[in-house]
Amino acid sequence: MSMLETAASAGTTTAPVESLTRRERVVLAELAEDVTLEEIATRLFVTRNTVKSQVRSVYRKIGVSTRSEAVAWAVAQGIR
């Protein structure tokens, strides 16, 4: 069972889209593409470490722990 299914079955909710910063929403949308963090960083004109920090922040806010869970959450929220 994925973390999303676990959270849903436990009755907990994840953060609303509005709790993410604009940049976090951009990074989350980029995660849905078949690209590396390095490629995302290049596209956004930041370092890979900046992207890593933003990804960790997104994961924490939406209550997931993997890229695939984050992408599934984004799709469900209409971000991607």
More confident residue, 47 or 80: 47
Containing H/E element for 41? helix 37-44
List % helix, strand, coil for the chain (3-state, nearest 5).
70, 0, 30
Q: Report pLDDT for 42.
A: 98
pLDDT digit string (tens) for 29-49?
Answer: 999 999 999 999 999 999 999
Question: Residue 67 has which token pair?
Answer: 């890229």
Q: Measured between alpha carbons, how far is 68 from 46 in angstroms, rounded to an integer?
A: 23
Question: Could you tell me the pTM of the whole model?
Answer: 0.78
3-state secondary structure of 76: helix
- Calculate the average pLDDT of the chain: 86
Please compute the mean of the pLDDT values over residues 3-21 and round it to a whole number.
61
pLDDT for the residue numbered 6: 45
Quote the CA–CA distance of 8 and 31 in Å, as a whole number: 22
Tell me the average pLDDT across 58-75: 96
